[in-house]
Structure 1
Amino acid sequence: MPAGDFGVLLEHLKTETRSYKKGDLICHAGEHTNALGIVLTGSVTIESDDIFGNRSVLDKVGPGQVFAETYACVPNEPMLVNVAAAENCTVLFLKTAQILSPCAVNCGHHGKLIENLLLVSAQKNLSLSRRIFHTAPKTIRGRLISYLSFQAIRENSDSFTIPFNRQQLADYLSVDRSALSKEMGKMRDEGILNFSKNHFELKRTS
């Protein structure tokens, strides 16, 4: 694609790039948005807070990944989640109205962009479905084993690194952090799990 056409496409899409510091709220629950975000550097977390201040981490989004696309595509739909900077990050915002309308140069890249966003949306739905699956067990051990087993299958290895720190993992699994750490200690003492920070190794029993 010629550089001039790419510039026209970006202008048509009305892109905006913003930088955030760790802990900054990028999107607030209850507000409306007409733009989706693409993480360029760093990472963000998708979080849900109840009226008592209890927080659940629904997902972590890294470079090249998208957030808020569902809300941006549904007019006047209030967001049910917060999006927070997990670390210093840079985000590119694209307005969905421009994404869904043809661009002046008719370059073909616009269609590819829409195709990629549909794929991303499907992947996000799978991610949320996996979280429901991981939080279905009633015990902390059951939830942890469900999550770690999925990571082992995805990495095709019993040794892997997860994208969450301890607090984020507890929030993702909807459990108390202290209780989670205690259960992990028990599993290590039983010889079925080793871990260091966010690196884990599953020990299969014969």
Structure 2
Amino acid sequence: MKHIAPTHAMLFEGIDPLDAERMLPCFDAHERAYDKGETIMRAGDITHSLGIVLDGSVNIVANHIWGARDIFVHAEAGQMFGEAYAVSASKLLVDAVAAEPSRVLLLNAEKMLHVCGQSCPYHHRIIQNLVRIAALKNIALSRRIMHTAPKTIRERVLSYLAEQALEHESRSFAIPFSREQMAGYLGVDRSALSAELSKMQRDGLIRFKKNRFELLA
């Protein structure tokens, strides 16, 4: 399982780890451990904290009233979640759920946006990093929209796997999702997804075993 030190997260990029460590009390930073499937942030609540994944991974999930579940974002170690809701103090429209046993650093967003009385020399860099991360998250959401736009399951799968191959710079790679999570991310039925993957393998398009895939065509 990938894990990082709190001060090695992208939020503290460009800041010496010792300086970042000194800043944590300014943001009311505290760590919490979560079991797989445990809810970290719940839809309908208002959160003042954003989270950074230190160990494990977190899914941002929309639970629809008719029972369907869609995974919008998968956050791995070093990545942040909940910042848009924490900064805006808006009610959460999604759940943040531990995808596996995970450890999360929670930080008060309001204190992060306002330079404290101690005038930490790197506080402005934190704000710059926060804006950059938000931009990257918008790109990630745009990718999901691109993957779920096609009408057929095969087209959605190929769109997602092609993007993963590009990201890994290899036609052979591991994806961060279980089969159920992949189905949720692509907005399709799990059984239908499994059936289509088997067809794609028989057609010579892909080879796969669990979460490892290889593009053949």
Selected match of 2:69 from 55, 66, 85: 55
Selected match of 1:23 from 37, 42, 61: 37
1:14-73 per-position Cα deviation (integer Å, ceiling 9, x unaligned): 112111111110111010011101111111111001111210111111111100000001
Correspondence 1:101-180 to 2 at 5 A: 101-180=114-193
The AA in structure 2 aligned to 1:21 is D
Who is 1:203 aligned against? 216
CA contact (8 A) 1:34 1:95 kept: yes
Give 5+ residue unaligned stretches, structure 1.
Answer: none
Tell me by how many angstroms 1:151 deviates.
0.8
**d(CA) in 1 for partners of 2:17 and 2:142?**
40
Aligned pair 1:39/2:53, yes or no?
yes
CA contact (8 A) 1:45 1:59 kept: yes
Identity of aligned residues (%): 47
**d(CA) in 2 for partners of 1:78 and 1:2?**
33
SS in 1 for 2:156: helix
C-alpha distance 33-188 of structure 1, shift in aligned 2 (>3 A)? same
Q: Normalised by the size of structure 2, how large is the TM-score?
A: 0.89
SS in 2 for 1:59: strand
Tell me by how many angstroms 1:103 deviates.
2.5
SS in 1 for 2:145: helix
**d(CA) in 2 for partners of 1:81 and 1:179?**
25
Q: Select the structure of larger CA radius of gyration.
A: 1
Tell me by how many angstroms 1:8 deviates.
5.0
